[in-house]
Chains A and B, each alone.
Chain A
Amino acid sequence: MTTETQAPLVPNFDDDDTDRKIAFICSKGNLDMAYPALVLANAALGEGIETHLFFTFWGFDMITKSRMHDLKFSPVGNTAMHMPVGDIRIPQALAPLPGMQPMATKMIKDQIAALGVPEVPEFLDQIVASGGHLWACRMSADMNKLVEEDLYDGVEAIINASDFIEMTDGAQLLFI
């Protein structure tokens, strides 16, 4: 008797494809602009890709110990800011009023938490635990008069622009 054997269908996890490398330049310190790089970096790590995050200018707030827990979101200048339900836009004339920024910040934080997505410091913990590399910009550190002790512990070093360019040789780059 002959038996036909068919090779089982096994997902291709591309384990040998190790040369892909991705780097994110985090240049913004608003709460909403902190998330795109964190979400994508986390996803890249989950795909086994070497991942670097470089924090520069306003993005420095994401890794500065005294500021990283308290990033804000402002509706000022953001015409895509809607009421919680429906398509009604918040008029730009109201956006700078006292109380709007805390309210908008709380709203966006609640929405993010409802999805089980961590706050920025805890998200960085997860990225570091997944093998991600965090780097701080030399010029930003000097401008803000900050040293390594002022920065989140997972930051590997303060590096200059040339170091970063050298390090990301062959990497895909995203400026956020």
Chain B
Amino acid sequence: MSLLTVAGLSKEFGGVHAVEDLSFTIHPGTIHSIIGPNGAGKTTLFNLITGVYVPSRGSIRLDDKEIAGRRPSELAALGMSRTFQNLQVFFNMSAVENVMVGHHLHLGRGFLPALLRLPSVVRRDRACRAHCIELLEFVGLGRYVGAEAASMPYGALKRLEIARALAAQPRLLLLDEPAAGLNATESREIDEVIKKVAATGVTVVLVEHDMKMVMGISDHILVLNYGRKLAEGTPAEVRANPEVVAAYLGAQG
């Protein structure tokens, strides 16, 4: 059974068709990459799936439940979590607090207990902090635990967003260019993190330009061009597809 089913999805901005009549499915437990030239509609697609944009037409189903047009916070409660290409870090908070916000849905959120700082709130917060420190270590940010997010370097912030997304304990994790702006070493580390996450059973969907990473870790690749599906398949199939080579891979080398 598929985890996510997209059918006939379209999004128009004025007269521009950012995503047009797109259909595909994502199976649980796989690493799924979305590639395509700049402006192909990858980030728009992410924003549609996660509820940041409302589709013009089409359906998005999570576990056979229609989710098109739902708010991102509702989708998070259904087990979806994501990172952003242009960072959406909470720069007014520390690193570990950023990750703790990610754990929001799994904490007691009552107003009065928080206001009175009941022992139960303190206890759960302490456990949450310990868990979030582990997550920071997991993504390789162990030395930034107490650091202010505003003082952290770009590469660390990308990983901070991954840790925050993981703190939400998602079933479906969408990463928008996790390796963008990273050097080769950092990129390989992110690679490892993604593989480890996928190994725990989380389904990962990835938008990425780093072809080495995409070809190395993906189970399945979807190629977009001008908002439409150009090709789909395993890394080997995509690499052998002449249309893909012409539209995208050829341009690289």
A associates with B: no
